[in-house]
Chains A and B, each alone.
Chain A
């Protein structure tokens, strides 16, 4: 089955096509643009380009997997709105995956910290043992993140705050790979699990303050 993977949880807009068979996964094509302010403009043309490159049409898709974040809200929602609308239009299932998990899985064996940029001098982070999440996801200042027994780190947040974490950074693994997103959802895809509502992992509340008492205007 041909599966579309989308992720906009980091400055990257990623659209990938992955063939899922009974016993394997084959990456077909991956389109990626890195621009923290352009998810809304880049993602859809990337999907069109990926489909064209693979020589398939939207109706050939069997499922969609989307990175649920955590990530900066505005960009994150682009990927999820696109995935949800495409799933609805095509009548195919959509599955959500924690975007950090895709990096953790791609990082492979050992104890790995995944950190992405949460802006405001904070990171979204989680730790993995042999590709499986053992803590997080969470958001905090880099100095507050425990790196105890962590061997390596990946994600653009790990690169940005490398001096704070003080562990080797895998610079080739900065953004969630499409194939890893699909790998995490592979069992659900093969079992034809029910479609999921794609709810972002926000981890932060909206900035909003209730108005205080009226300020006097007479002086």
Chain B
């Protein structure tokens, strides 16, 4: 092995087939095939459609990644693959393929945690992560606050959504407003022409009574229903729906809660670095609000560029590279796809 390991990452936990290649902490390739268009008419990701698409996309996406990086599978030092959490059938395609590559090329394999990989990817762009740090991961599949001490040893969950994920709320509200799927980018765009203070939508789990049990948890289901009620009342009254104002006010409610809780998590843990990842991290309002609030308390906000925020193989390769460097033992060939994988272990123990 050279001084910097060449690590391949495979990600298939949702609707993106991602293959990433890193050397040490340098990104060499990040190939993606997405089945998002196939899910659009269903208004959300259909697991079987995603699984079929992964199987079709894997080999060509791998080839693109290898060609881009200018390496072959024989050059690779280790293979990392998302073991969970995610859609069971989708994960299994990536895990099976990773095992095939590992077996054939006689390389070690690491089954890794998807959420920890979302955190690890930031080190490709912004260097080593100060310890401890707080990570907020927000996407269509997850909304979590994590305390990260040593990325290779384990991550402590502080809170998570108790119902819808943040990105899911964007999808549902976009559908309600007839804006299409996925909801995140289109609401972000639509909201630019609206007034975010025009409608006071509820902020889930922020009441004083929620502090004891749900201080760092999220809830977006009530918000989504409140938006639906507000829109419907307008329609029933025969009045036009101010789509831009509704979008902006909804987005503000989501971003307000997310950033308030993330900053609270940093302050209560004496942490001065906040990493934001997941597809919703691309939201322009979230970034602005996070920066503003963090600045007040001397907290640094780190957000990877949008392509690295959404699900990708680079993040898995990045985490794999940390594990190899830390001398963590590889997983075994019977490693499972674990749709509800916990964060107690960052990788499947060997």
- A contact residues vs B (CB 8 Å cutoff): 39-45, 47-48, 57-58, 73-74, 77-86, 88-90, 197, 199-200, 202, 206-211, 214, 216-218
The reply to whether B73 and A89 form a contact with Cβ atoms under 8 Å apart is: yes
CA distance A73 to B90 in the complex (A): 11
CA distance A164 to B97 in the complex (A): 38
The reply to whether B95 and A89 form a contact with Cβ atoms under 8 Å apart is: no
The reply to whether B97 and A84 form a contact with Cβ atoms under 8 Å apart is: yes
Residues in B neighbouring A78, C-beta threshold 8 A: 92-93, 96
The reply to whether B59 and A88 form a contact with Cβ atoms under 8 Å apart is: yes
The reply to whether B100 and A89 form a contact with Cβ atoms under 8 Å apart is: yes
CA distance A211 to B178 in the complex (A): 13
Q: Closest Cβ of chain A: how far from B229's Cβ, in Å?
A: 5
The residue from A82, A199, A209 contacting B42, defined by CB atoms under 8 A apart:
A209
Residues in B neighbouring A206, C-beta threshold 8 A: 46, 48-49, 52
The reply to whether A44 and B100 form a contact with Cβ atoms under 8 Å apart is: yes
- B contact residues vs A (CB 8 Å cutoff): 41-43, 46, 48-49, 51-52, 55-56, 58-59, 62-63, 73, 88-89, 92-106, 175-176, 225, 228-229, 232-233, 236, 332-337
Q: Is the interface of B mostly helix, strand, loop or mixed?
A: helix
Residues in B neighbouring A85, C-beta threshold 8 A: 58-59, 62, 96-101, 104
Residues in B neighbouring A210, C-beta threshold 8 A: 41-43
Residues in A neighbouring B103, C-beta threshold 8 A: 44, 47-48, 58, 82, 86
Residues in B neighbouring A41, C-beta threshold 8 A: 334-336
Determine the residue in chain B with the shortest Cβ distance to A47: B103
What are 10 A-B contacts defined by CB distance under 8 Å?
A73-B51, A77-B55, A80-B55, A81-B94, A82-B97, A82-B103, A85-B104, A90-B104, A208-B49, A214-B176
Q: Closest Cβ of chain B: how far from A62's Cβ, in Å?
A: 13
Residues in B neighbouring A77, C-beta threshold 8 A: 51, 55, 89, 92-93, 96
CA distance A188 to B103 in the complex (A): 25
The residue from B56, B105, B106, B333 contacting A45, defined by CB atoms under 8 A apart:
B333
The reply to whether B89 and A74 form a contact with Cβ atoms under 8 Å apart is: yes
Residues in A neighbouring B94, C-beta threshold 8 A: 81
Q: Closest Cβ of chain B: how far from A10's Cβ, in Å?
A: 16
The reply to whether B92 and A211 form a contact with Cβ atoms under 8 Å apart is: no
The residue from A43, A79, A208, A211 contacting B175, defined by CB atoms under 8 A apart:
A211
Q: Closest Cβ of chain A: how far from B164's Cβ, in Å?
A: 15
Determine the residue in chain A with the shortest Cβ distance to B12: A81
CA distance A48 to B100 in the complex (A): 10
The residue from A45, A199, A209, A218 contacting B232, defined by CB atoms under 8 A apart:
A218
The reply to whether B92 and A40 form a contact with Cβ atoms under 8 Å apart is: yes
CA distance A143 to B345 in the complex (A): 49
The residue from A42, A57, A74, A89 contacting B51, defined by CB atoms under 8 A apart:
A74
Residues in B neighbouring A57, C-beta threshold 8 A: 106
The residue from A79, A80, A89, A217 contacting B101, defined by CB atoms under 8 A apart:
A89
CA distance A43 to B92 in the complex (A): 12
Q: Closest Cβ of chain B: how far from A200's Cβ, in Å?
A: 7
Determine the residue in chain A with the shortest Cβ distance to B98: A85
CA distance A111 to B21 in the complex (A): 53
